[in-house]
Amino acid sequence: MAMPSSRAVRPMKILGSTVNMVDMPYIMEWMESAIKEYRALEASGSPVATKHLMVAGYHGVIQAKKSELYYKIGEEADLWIPDSIGPVLVARRRGMKDAVTTPGPDMMSEFLALADRRHYRTFFYGETPETLAALETAVAQRYPGHIIAGSFSPPFRPMSDAEEAEHVAMINAAKPDVLWVGLGLPKQDEWIYRNKSRLRVPIATGVGAAFGFLSGRVGRAPGWCRKVGLEWLYMLLRKPKRTAKRVFVDGSEFVFAVLLEELRRGNSGSE
């Protein structure tokens, strides 16, 4: 079964990493096609493989620039979408004028609405037991047709391979269509990458703070603020200790590195 082709995937190389400029309708088509393809292959007894949907913005691009492992994870992911304005501004500067951000919380909400109609199953892995309980309550009320296959809050410490294998077995037994991993970047993508070969789910995706937002335990920037790409500023003002390093250190490093890359592109005659 082919993946969706009605909307084009436009890959953009940013500081060496391939970020795909797509819109939310494409992502929903991609996810639904991945689920249908996986379940059809599974029913026929054919080999199946979990798809890694990677959601990361400028912080992910900088992490990939610094870490060989994270770069490898990004390049091997089945789809890397931008959840912050930085990569999108670069894409617009390079000619993709209609490039848009695809934030993890928005993507998760869109899929849960789809799952409400299709009765898809999901598993939530990560965050605290309190956040997971609030998330399950909020999701069950808002999307009653969606099926919560399970949830689990792993310990906030390095885990052994045996522990992770036990968690994967629990997830597989629940048979979700989508595994949502909320461990923060880069841990969530590293976890998916380590366990991808033993996961038996159609899609695994890391969504960072989305659990907190959708549970209602963490306030999110107003819609107008997100639309103009200033959600980072809102979070900086609300939670400076948590976001200052990402904004001032990683953000500055991203801007400086992109400016250098643009200079090199200009000198080489690239458009």
Question: CA 169 to CA 120: how far, in whole Å?
Answer: 20
Give mean pLDDT, residues 195-224.
Answer: 86
The confidence score (pLDDT) of residue 225 equals: 62
The confidence score (pLDDT) of residue 4 equals: 45
What is the tally of structural domains in the chain? 1
CA atoms within 13 A on the CB side of 110: 16
Q: Does residue 18 register a pLDDT over 70?
A: yes
Please report which helix (H) or strand (E) contains residue 187, including its range.
helix 187-195
Question: What secondary structure does DSSP assign to 60-90, as a single string?
Answer: HHHHHHH-HHHHHHHHHSSEEE--SHHHHHH
Angle at 237 (CA atoms; ends 235, 240), nearest 5 degrees = 80
The confidence score (pLDDT) of residue 265 equals: 83
Question: CA 195 to CA 198: how far, in whole Å?
Answer: 6
Residue 4 domain flag: no
- Is residue 51 within 8 A of residue 25, CB to CB? The reply is no
Q: Does residue 234 register a pLDDT over 70?
A: no
Give the model confidence (pLDDT) of 73-119 as tens digits: 999 999 999 998 899 999 999 999 999 999 999 999 999 999 999 99
Longest dimension (CA), the chain: 56
Domain that holds residue 146: 10-268
The confidence score (pLDDT) of residue 56 equals: 93
Residue 111 domain flag: yes
Residue 23 domain flag: yes
Q: How many CB atoms lie within 10 A of CB 237?
A: 10
Question: 245 to each of 56, 104, 118, 236, 242, how far by Cα in Å?
Answer: 16, 20, 40, 10, 8
The confidence score (pLDDT) of residue 3 equals: 47
The confidence band for 6, taking pLDDT boundaries of 50, 70 and 90, is very low
What letter would DSSP give residue 102?
A: -
Q: Does residue 23 register a pLDDT over 50?
A: yes
Q: Does residue 1 register a pLDDT over 60?
A: no
